[in-house]
Amino acid sequence: MEPDNDTRISEFLLLGLSEDPELQPLIFGLLLSMYLITVLGNLLIILAVSSDSHLHTPMYFFLANLSFADICSTSTTVPKMLMNIQTENKDITYAGCITQMYFFLLFVGFDDFLLAVMAYDRFMAICHPLHYTVIMKPSYCALLVLVVWVMSVLNSLLESLMVSWLSFCREVGISSFFCDIKQLVQLACSDTFLNDVVMYFGAGLLGGGPLAGILYSYSKIVSSILGISSAQGKYKAFSTCASHLSVVSLFYCTGLGVYLSSAATQSSHTSAVASVMYTVVTPMLNPFIYSLRNRDIKRALKRILRGFILSGEGSLSLFSVLSQSYFPVST
């Protein structure tokens, strides 16, 4: 498939969630609030994990990476939408659209693969507790994250390059608040057969592969938990997986809901509103899910927040917390 520079347009239109001018202030306020909560919540998780030595374990290392990816994925879409509403300008340049699509696919793919890695971590901790510390060493955990990054980069790069080869013969309006790859392929005026093949193969790789790994891991986990004789032991083992199971369910259910809604209805705005669930709501809820019933996270967060309160300047307090964690004063 050769690119046709003669018919390549210079910009797209992001139609957003609604064309009603009266709803724009409400949409702006809701998106801005959710974005700030997402960034603050996930940033606190990262700070809690990095500042508390008790959280320097594989599970929380993966959690910090998940929070980082959630911040990045939300930051690729929401700020542009907020700017478009504020300036009443729906334009996004061709290069900006391809770039936004690349980074969105990158971080969503990273989330997907990382959830499978986190399920593997829980599988090793519950099914092979005696070998857990030997196998899940820091170097091995870092290698797993590196592999996830490489796979995500390759997938997003391939799909973005395939879209960049397409030709668009007219001004294209995208019925969403970000450059969705599925809509871009559908709006192209050139042959999209190879794009469809790559897109569905990528969806199967991102959706089917990690999900199969998660289901296999939890089938073994459930078998191991059922084999525990004491009720307290069963509850303790299950409680270590509850947060991850909640995040996995939220991630896959919202993503599946978006595609089902787009297939079941012809309303473009309905699909755009549904896409908010997995692009904005899911990253916003993840910190709450992992912190509400996790005593270690709560303790670390209280330590950070107490430092802010006791000090008149938050920046000095944060520096103090981090410096005490990584550079303890010898006595």
Segment 3-23, tens digit of pLDDT:
444 456 778 888 878 777 888
CA angle 238, 206, 122 (to 5 degrees): 20
- Give the Cα separation of 137 and 143 in Å (integer): 10
* CB hemisphere CA count around 297 (13 angstroms): 22
Q: Which CATH architecture has domain 9-293?
A: Up-down Bundle (1.20)
Domain ranges in the chain are 9-293
Residues 6+ apart with CB under 8 A from 72: 103, 107
pLDDT value at 278 more than 60: yes
Handedness of CA 196, 201, 203, 204 (dihedral sign): positive
CA torsion angle 12 16 22 25 (round to 10): -100
What are the tens digits of pLDDT across the range 59-110? 999 999 999 999 999 999 999 999 988 888 888 888 999 999 999 999 999 9
pLDDT value at 187 more than 70: yes
CA of residue 205 relative to chain centroid, distance: 17
Q: Over the range 155-183, which residues count as b (16 or more CB within 10 Å of their CB) and which as e? A: bbeebbebbbebbbeeebebbbbbbbbbb
Q: What is the mean pLDDT of residues 175-181?
A: 86
Tell me how crowded residue 233 is: count the other CB atoms within 10 A of its CB: 12
Tell me how crowded residue 123 is: count the other CB atoms within 10 A of its CB: 21
CA angle 218, 222, 227 (to 5 degrees): 150
pLDDT value at 142 more than 90: yes
Reported pTM: 0.84
Mean pLDDT of the chain: 82
Q: Do 14 and 84 touch, CB atoms closer than 8 A?
A: yes
CA torsion angle 10 15 16 21 (round to 10): 130
- Give the Cα separation of 126 and 217 in Å (integer): 10
260 or 76, which is more confident: 76
Q: Which among 12, 20, 11 is positioned nearest to 269, based on CA atoms?
A: 20
